[in-house]
Amino acid sequence: MHPIASPTVDVSVLVPVLNEGSTIREVVQAMAAQELDGTVEFLLADGRSSDDTRAQLETLARADDRIALLDNPRRGTASGLNVCLAAARGEYVARMDAHAIYPPSYLQSGINRLRRGDVAWVAGPQTPQPRGRVSGAIASALGTRLGRGASRRWSGEKGDSGEYDLDTGVFCGVWRREDLLAHGGWDEDWPRNQDSELAARFLDAGQRIVCVPAMAAGYVPRDSLGGLWRQYRGYGAYRAKTAGRHPRSLRRSAVLPPLLVIDATLAVAAPGRLRRLARVGVGSYVAALIAATAETARKEGRPDPLVPVVLATMHVAHGVGFLEGCRRWGIPWQALQRVAGGRTREAPYRGPIHAPSLHAEREQPRTRA
């Protein structure tokens, strides 16, 4: 490997990768097809993959001098993003996920919207593109309100208009590099939910985040219930941690899964009358699952018996994770009080951001395979 010269480019694309050998070529080729009025570099931070991801990236980098392969020794998503951000030369930066396929206009649409000057973060919605039996059921579940919750990152459709503001429910995006650096990059204490934690800092600073439907990206859901459980359990745990740091980030819908877990536990273990009341709650949840399954059957022309299983897995895993997060980092009382309608006086977070990969990498020369 040898040092890269360092002229600036218009946009730097940040891509953390780990064991993506089965899809990385398709993903990178789709990224390289971006239609941009300017120059672009693709920075891929490999978390020391144990499959052939790195070998494939080295081949791709030799064929396209816009692609640079970086090392992510801490292996996490947030650290990989910071490694890339440290090496980025673009006036603008974009995060692209190795599990998604982006439209050719993604970068240009994001940059054009940022140039209007009234927003700091431009993102697109996620459009599930299933590959497999369980993956298809997850996509169907995400088409229901019970599956999406209050998140608006799933609600957009491809088009040229109809943008809307987002809260901390975000999927990737495009920023000015100076804004990301001013906020300290991604906090590496957040292996999950790191974009939401970063979004809370932008919102606390009074900056807007918007979703542009034309930037909709195809997202491949997990294709196993075990993978879905681990994904949502992690989301739940770090949602609790984010709520502790940023009380205003917690939605009412995020409190329902842990309440479901508590209710189900009481329905089994509580004494007498309390147990009977808890069982009423469980019955209401089962009725909601049946209604959501019927909704997907009407949309798709057939019932899918996996949909209620997927929904229950999402909700219970998220609830268990949230409760584990409360046990690990403390109950986010201010956030819960705010959700309940109480008055709070929480101040925006002004503490340190743990981003060692950003600061360490900024002192190192950039290299290319």
Q: What is the pLDDT of residues 282-340, one digit of tens each?
A: 999 999 999 999 999 999 999 999 999 999 999 999 999 999 999 999 999 999 999 99
Backbone φ and ψ for 60, nearest 5 degrees, come out as -65, -40
Residue 172 gets the label, from left (phi > 0), alpha (psi -120 to 50) or beta, of left
Is there a contact between 251 and 149 (Cβ–Cβ < 8 Å)?
yes
Determine the Cα angle at 197 with ends 192 and 201, to 5°.
Answer: 165
From-to residues of CATH 3.90.550.10 in the chain: 8-222
Q: What is the pLDDT of residue 155?
A: 58
Three-state SS at 217: strand
Is the pLDDT at 157 greater than 70? The verdict is no
Is the pLDDT at 365 greater than 50? The verdict is no
pTM of the model: 0.91
Three-state SS at 262: helix
Number of C-beta neighbours around residue 173 at 10 A: 27
In the CATH scheme, what is the code of domain 8-222?
A: 3.90.550.10
Is there a contact between 153 and 211 (Cβ–Cβ < 8 Å)?
yes
Backbone φ and ψ for 89, nearest 5 degrees, come out as -115, -5
Distance CA 130, CA 239 (A): 25
Three-state SS at 89: coil
135-143 mean pLDDT: 94
What separation in angstroms does the CA of 332 have from each of 12, 76, 316, 327? 36, 25, 19, 10
